[in-house]
Amino acid sequence: MKWYIARRLAWTVVATFIILSLTFGLMAASPDPQAASYVAQQVQEGGDFEEAQESYERARGLDQPLWERYKNYMIGMVTLDWGWSETRSQPVTEAILEAWPYSVMYATPALIISTVLGVAIGLYSATHRNSLEDYAASAFAFFGISIPDFWFGILMILIFGVWLGWIPIYYHSDVPWFSLQNVQQLIAPTLVVTLSSIASEMRFSRATALEYVNAEFVKTAKAKGADSWRRVTRHIFRPALVPLSTILVGDILNIVLVSSYLVEVVFGIPGLGQLSYKAIIQQDVALVLATVLIPTFIAIVGNLFQDLAYTVLDPRISYGER
């Protein structure tokens, strides 16, 4: 098992290395939108086209050989020197440090609520299969996986902000973090992110638990005198946790990352999503790259935890295979 964990950790490092290299390759091979706009601006102001291009490349270190640039890029990545954000006139890392609390503020509650409630409702549905509640939960889940997050956010703003006036139309970032007002303006975004992830979670945990509801060992537990609560929590939920752990970490994290990105754009929350969105609009390449890599790293680490959780949860796993 130690050997397995060591190999898994090694693979995480290798995968990160490959992904960073691939992104470097992508960036190097593609036309730099920022360069184009810089050069266009210089030419407009009467500068020479060639000169403008050269000065830009010099400033960004693009005149160095490819290998040199790759080396610098990788070293920069590892040492957390992620470049300079032109539009914000600050290091990329600093911009990210300023933005992340806003994302965490509502994404964490959403993640917790949707995990706890989603799994609970899914289990209930599975153990009360074909009941009225089960049908209602399934219908709700279909609704949740089908509704576009960003449109649902707009609907919330329209109904609760514009028509009812309960929530502000835009996020006010000057409000103190720990204040009732901040909680009030975070309710709607939290709900939107929760809905998209809770639906997937309900569907998956229902399907997983269904495989165990009629398992023989659950009948054994009943024959031992275990009450229904104990049967559901100890004998259905616990074994179901093994396949569930794969979606809890991997897929749900992904859903939350995506929907929080869109939700921040819709509600105007100055978190990582909006930082990335603004960087795209304003052609801030370094910042775009960083804000794409952060969720990617989160996903890689999530994958690692998922695999490690698996080894803890399932005593049957064989470590011979990868």
- Residues making contact with other proteins (CB under 8 A): 15, 18-19, 22-23, 26-27, 30, 33, 142-143, 145-151, 154-155, 157-158, 162, 169, 207, 210, 214-217, 219-228, 234-235, 238-239, 242, 254, 257-258, 261-262, 265-266, 276-277, 280-281, 288-289, 292, 295-296, 299-300, 303, 313-316
Closest distance of CB 262 from other proteins, Å = 6
Q: What CA–CA distance (Å, rounded) separates 316 from 188?
A: 43
Between residues 248 and 257, which has the closer beta carbon with respect to other proteins? 257
Between residues 5 and 215, which has the closer beta carbon with respect to other proteins? 215
Nearest to 93 by CA among 103, 104, 101, 85: 85
Between residues 151 and 166, which has the closer beta carbon with respect to other proteins? 151
Closest distance of CB 154 from other proteins, Å = 5
| Buried b or exposed e, range 241-280, using 16+ CB within 10 angstroms | bbbbbbbbbbbbbbbbbbbbbbbbbbbbbbbbbbbbbbbe
Closest distance of CB 206 from other proteins, Å = 8
Between residues 114 and 276, which has the closer beta carbon with respect to other proteins? 276
Closest distance of CB 177 from other proteins, Å = 26
Count the helices and strands in the chain (H runs, E runs).
Answer: 14, 2
Q: Which long-range contacts (CB under 8 A, 24 or more apart) does 25-31 make?
A: 27/285, 27/289, 28/66, 28/69, 28/70
Closest distance of CB 70 from other proteins, Å = 17
250 contacts 301 by C-beta, under 8 angstroms: no
